[in-house]
Structure 1
Amino acid sequence: MKVALINHSDIDGGAARATYRIHHALRRHDVDSTMMVNSAAAGDWTVRGPTTKWEKVVVNVRRPLGGLLNKMLHTGNPVLHSPAIFSSRWPARLNALNADLLHIHWITGEMLSISDVGELKKPLVWTLHDMWAFCGAEHYTEDFRWREGYLPSNRPNYESGFDLNRWTWQRKRKNWKQPLHIVTPSRWLADCVRQSALMREWPVSVIPNAIDTDAWQPVDKTIARQMLHLPPAAPLLLFGAMGGAKDPRKGFDLLKSALDHLRGQMPGLELVVFGQLAPETSVDLGFPVHYAGHLHDDLSLRLLYAAADVMVVPSRQEAFGQTASEAHACGTPVIAFDTCGLPDIVTHKKTGWLAKVFDTEDLAGGIQWILSDDIRHSKLRANARADAVFKFSYRTVAEQYLTLYEKIIRS
């Protein structure tokens, strides 16, 4: 079977890394998979990106030009907005490709326009990595226009100016006449698809993001801490996100509140933060903090997960929660809120702790519960690793996609 996976980048960003792993999971299980991207950074011969200087110039120009339209929208929602307005050569290339099936992923950043998606003719699967496909231009939102339809009457009061989200959503409704088969990495995102005004009649399957559990394995904690120059004996609580504490969706403020509940109750506890460098003005979290900066290679991330006693993922919104699955693969328990994609990864009191939604006192209680008993902690580590292999290994995920591909090609 020949399959083409289409994503804006191969390894730059969470969606790209998830797509790249699915691509190699398929290749390892006898699928002739090729990844088609606008930005190729891995140096992988199985990934096809722009080759000529002109193609690279066009890619670099399209994205900021599309972003100019965003300036007409005034919004309190700080997440990325993608109008996807410029048609490209991708539909002609992909329709002519020698492939049995096209598998699109994160195709915004002006890679494919909304009309481009409607012009794809081959059997098609679309894996979502955020909410953009059934929303307006926003990639995440806490309002519910996506359920009701983007009407003038339900525009949120934190928006003004040109209604970019309504205009984008109307273009999707106009151009996407035939339902596509949607895949989501979590039950929460699948439920959103089923509730959306745009896609509620579309078929949807849940297949988690993959991780190579043969490579992502536990590392001896003592060795990991020595290599990362972390304290050898202190209980270490790990937090990490792209941009660290800057993205409100990642919930660093909620973690800070939870740590306030623990002041004076957990002597020796120290925090490790990755995804950002140490800030110019230090934040008093009540405990010593080690900033690991931006880690771009899998080996450094593996060592960091293995060095930690527990990872906390206090996110408000996560389509999946890739850092949580990576931590589990390395045998590290995870503490998170019982919301969005994280319950698909963390099993309460088996592989970690699921706190009541945005209840920071309960989040603090989970930290205490995991770190207060060495025997319990050891069992959680073993369970986390076993769960990751069972649910997210390359074989598990590739087999689920193969079954779906065959079904779609037959139909």
Structure 2
Amino acid sequence: MKILHISYSDAEGGAGVACLRLHKLLLKNKIDSTLLVINKHSSVNSVFSVTERNIFLYVYFKIINRISELILKLDSLFVRKRRDIHRSLNVFPNKLVNIINSYEADIIHLHWINGEMLSIYDIKKISGNIIWTLHDSWPFLSTYHHDLGLNLSNLDKCILNIKAKHYPDNLSFISPSHWMKKQFLSSIISSGYNCKVIPNLVTEALKNDFADTRISNSGVVNVLIGSVNFYNNSNKGFNSLIKIIDSVKGNENIIFNIFGESELHESLVKFKNVNILGIINDEQKMLKIMSESDWVFNLSKIESFGLVACESISIGTPVICFNTSGLRDIVKNDITGYIFNEVDEIISFINTNSNFYKSKQLHNKCLAFYQENFSEEIIINSHIQYYEQTL
């Protein structure tokens, strides 16, 4: 069985990280796996950048991506849409489909293919069986990557109709969460397509080094939070974090450690209990920081899965999040953390719990829940079985 993965990156964002982990674990299990990307960051030999040795293709991708961004900006301007919301077209043809077909793979596994990496029209030109992991909702929405309940422009409707018309029959889907599968099944795209829930992977070879980290009741509570582009991505909950920090500003024993940003935001300068950890690309370093934290906060409005939350419970650090989307598969009250409906509920929880630090009991519950639901063995076997069923 020969698997070819297609992903814009092998490291940027949760989708790239999840794709590379799956690829490496398939290789470990003696499965013939190759990964094609636009931006390569890893040193893995079986990961290839399609633009690295082709300057013309590189320039072409840059041009069509800029044209796509311009069209979407003009559409936002004329229909008065918010311009801070991520949207994609993927309608410009390119030579990637020829490269894909040259590998003669049994399964072509699509991951995050936006940035005009692969045209909607070209998907049906792919030879072989196609599986597409829903790292966000773009594959079954219009131009949006998340369903924010916004009115569709004529351009949005056009893109949605193109998807409905041009998606091929030899296509199946993977959803990393039950919530995402429900969203997919309620779309006009889903009719006739299989969709299986398979969570994203955590690298167990790394997390095992930190799962038995000593529980410290020193009186100082370390809270970890962040993401790529944390300040500017309205989905990630930065405004909620500001409200939380402001509510506990008199308690300097609670330290908020922010990753994914290199500088202190101007709105945080007045707080003495905020540290900036920078952009962390080293998985082992990230897990070590998680293991030394009492809590990981995920204040996102929407998560297709919640990879950071799953990584956190894998090494025994509980998670606090909102009652939303894919996070509900990972965070269970008094087992792997706590779920809240509003930011004021989180503030009340912090202020009314004198023992806000990580407990040994909750630590052990996190480890057990992870092992029962998200272990490497469970996830890789589910993928291999789905590949075999698709052939």
Q: TM-score, normalized by length of structure 2?
A: 0.90
Per-residue deviation, 1:257:
2.8
Q: For the residues of structure 1 that align with 2:58 and 2:353, how far apart are their CA atoms?
A: 49
2:139 is equivalent to residue 133 of structure 1? yes
Q: Find the counterpart in structure 2 of residue 274 from structure 1.
A: 259
2:250 is equivalent to residue 249 of structure 1? no
Match of 1:58, SS state, is: helix
Q: Which structure 2 residues correspond to residues 248-327 of structure 1 after superposition, within 5 A?
A: 248-262=234-248, 264=250, 266=251, 268-279=253-264, 281-283=266-268, 288-327=273-312
Match of 2:159, SS state, is: helix
2:172 is equivalent to residue 181 of structure 1? yes
Cα deviation, 1:28-65, whole Å, max 9, x if unaligned, reads 22211111112222121111212233333333333223
Q: Find the counterpart in structure 1 of residue 17 from structure 2.
A: 17
Per-residue deviation, 1:169:
1.1
Cα deviation, 1:84-127, whole Å, max 9, x if unaligned, reads 12112222332332321111111111111010112223111110
Q: Find the counterpart in structure 2 of residue 121 from structure 1.
A: 127
Q: For the residues of structure 2 that align with 1:78 and 1:112, how far apart are their CA atoms?
A: 23
- Report which stretch shifted further, 385-394 or 134-143: 385-394
Q: Which structure 2 residues correspond to residues 340-351 of structure 1 after superposition, within 5 A?
A: 340-351=325-336
Per-residue deviation, 1:280:
5.5
Q: Find the counterpart in structure 2 of residue 213 from structure 1.
A: 204
Match of 2:174, SS state, is: strand
Q: 1:188 to 1:280 in 2, by over 3 A?
A: closer
Q: In the alignment, residue 302 of structure 2 is paired with which amino acid?
A: Q
Contact preservation (8 Å) 1:370, 1:377: no
Contact preservation (8 Å) 1:114, 1:171: yes
Q: TM-score, normalized by length of structure 1?
A: 0.86
Cα deviation, 1:356-385, whole Å, max 9, x if unaligned, reads x2x1122234446777166x7111112222
Contact preservation (8 Å) 1:238, 1:310: yes
Cα deviation, 1:329-357, whole Å, max 9, x if unaligned, reads 222110111210101111211111111x2
Q: Find the counterpart in structure 1 of residue 376 from structure 2.
A: 394
Q: In the alignment, residue 234 of structure 2 is paired with which amino acid?
A: P
Match of 1:244, SS state, is: coil
Contact preservation (8 Å) 1:4, 1:34: yes
Match of 1:92, SS state, is: helix
Q: Find the counterpart in structure 1 of residue 387 from structure 2.
A: 405
Contact preservation (8 Å) 2:295, 2:320: yes
Equivalent of 2:364 in 378, 382, 388: 382
Per-residue deviation, 1:79:
2.3
2:314 is equivalent to residue 329 of structure 1? yes
Contact preservation (8 Å) 1:259, 1:285: no
Q: Find the counterpart in structure 2 of residue 362 from structure 1.
A: 345
| Gap regions ≥5 residues in structure 1 | 145-154, 226-231
Q: For the residues of structure 1 that align with 2:354 and 2:192, how far apart are their CA atoms?
A: 46
Q: For the residues of structure 1 that align with 2:168 and 2:384, how far apart are their CA atoms?
A: 26
RMSD: 2.6
Q: Find the counterpart in structure 2 of residue 99 from structure 1.
A: 105
Identity %: 26
Contact preservation (8 Å) 2:313, 2:367: yes
2:66 is equivalent to residue 83 of structure 1? no
Cα deviation, 1:5-28, whole Å, max 9, x if unaligned, reads 111111122211111111112112
Q: Find the counterpart in structure 2 of residue 37 from structure 1.
A: 37
Match of 1:291, SS state, is: strand
Q: For the residues of structure 2 that align with 1:18 and 1:277, how far apart are their CA atoms?
A: 23
Contact preservation (8 Å) 2:108, 2:130: yes
Per-residue deviation, 1:198:
1.9
Q: For the residues of structure 1 that align with 2:383 and 2:265, how far apart are their CA atoms?
A: 46
Match of 1:239, SS state, is: strand
Match of 1:215, SS state, is: helix
Match of 2:268, SS state, is: coil
Cα deviation, 1:195-223, whole Å, max 9, x if unaligned, reads 01222442111000001112123277689
Q: For the residues of structure 2 that align with 1:318 and 1:38, how far apart are their CA atoms?
A: 24
Contact preservation (8 Å) 1:212, 1:393: no
Q: Which structure 2 residues correspond to residues 66-81 of structure 1 after superposition, within 5 A?
A: 66-74=68-76, 75-76=81-82, 78-81=84-87
Cα deviation, 1:129-149, whole Å, max 9, x if unaligned, reads 0010111111113117xxxxx
Per-residue deviation, 1:71:
2.4
2:47 is equivalent to residue 47 of structure 1? yes
Aligned pair count?
384
Q: Which structure 2 residues correspond to residues 216-227 of structure 1 after superposition, within 5 A?
A: 216-217=207-208, 218=210
Match of 1:192, SS state, is: helix
Q: For the residues of structure 1 that align with 2:74 and 2:174, how far apart are their CA atoms?
A: 32
